[in-house]
Amino acid sequence: MNLILLGPPGAGKGTQAEVLQKRLNIPSISTGMLLRNAMEQGTQLGKEAKEYIAKGNLVPDVLVVNLLRERLSQSDTNNGFILDGFPRTCAQAELLDTICSIDKVLSLEVKDEEILKRLSGRRVCNRCGASYHTIYKPPKQDMVCDNCGAVLSIREDDKEETVLNRLTVYHSQTEPIKEYYRLRGKLYIAYGQEEVSDTTKEVLRVLGLE
Ligand SMILES: [Zn+2]
């Protein structure tokens, strides 16, 4: 199954992506992580991305899609993949349709005030990409990644002063994607619950994976 996870920042997409990854035995792919890896490894696309960022510009959609195209050519995606954090605009959704065929788009819906409550506890591992939450999904040892032992960090994006701005951007730029996929019969909506395990049940139910 080629799946997109959609939802506002803090909706719990990363956590559900991990569940679905195990359940479906397909990789969860974050374009942010792809970009960081490409820049670290100094690949051709990574070097190009670095130039844009150094000039204070956004990395163009076409470059991100080319990175994705490379990633999707790897054999672990033969049975499908989960995209987390991409596409974020209708233009990106259209570009994505030129390199692969998406089966389902899951929109994880959470109210803005709930998002604000959740984000302050979010922690991420910059080494392996695992995500945690001080309340909902604490690591076994405070601020240490269960998977790889790296020290966890708080993303700049999760800091409270940037959250409201991100929500505004989500509602104005990313949410219209739902209509794009709804029109193509690919949109599935799950409502985020207070307990992560309840959200997971809802996600699996909506996707017909119970
Ligand atoms: Zn880790």
Averaged pLDDT of the chain = 93
What pLDDT is recorded for position 91?
95
What is the whole-number distance in angstroms between the Cα of residue 124 and the centre of ligand 1? 8
- For the four alpha carbons of 112, 113, 118 and 120, in that order, the dihedral sign comes to positive
What is the whole-number distance in angstroms between the Cα of residue 122 and the centre of ligand 1? 14
What is the whole-number distance in angstroms between the Cα of residue 28 and the centre of ligand 1? 15
Q: Which fold has domain 2-110+164-206?
A: Rossmann fold (3.40.50)
What is the whole-number distance in angstroms between the Cα of residue 112 and the centre of ligand 1? 28
Per-residue tokens: 22: 């195990």
CB atoms within 10 A of CB 40: 10
Interval 50-103: pLDDT, tens: 999 999 888 999 999 999 999 999 999 999 999 998 999 999 999 999 999 999
Entry pTM: 0.80
Q: CA of 144: how far to CAs of 13, 39, 106, 167, in Å?
A: 21, 25, 30, 28
> Does 159 participate in catalysis according to the annotation?
no
Residue type, 35: L
Separation CA 17–CA 84 (nearest Å): 7
Interval 99-134: pLDDT, tens: 999 999 999 999 998 898 888 788 999 999 999 998
> Does 122 participate in catalysis according to the annotation?
yes
Question: Given 36, 69, 155, 186, which residue is catalytic?
Answer: 155
What pLDDT is recorded for position 42?
96
Q: Which of 113, 117, 81 is nearest to 100 (CA)?
A: 81
Q: What values do phi and psi take at 78, rounded to 5? A: -55, -35
Domain map (residue ranges) of the chain: 2-110+164-206
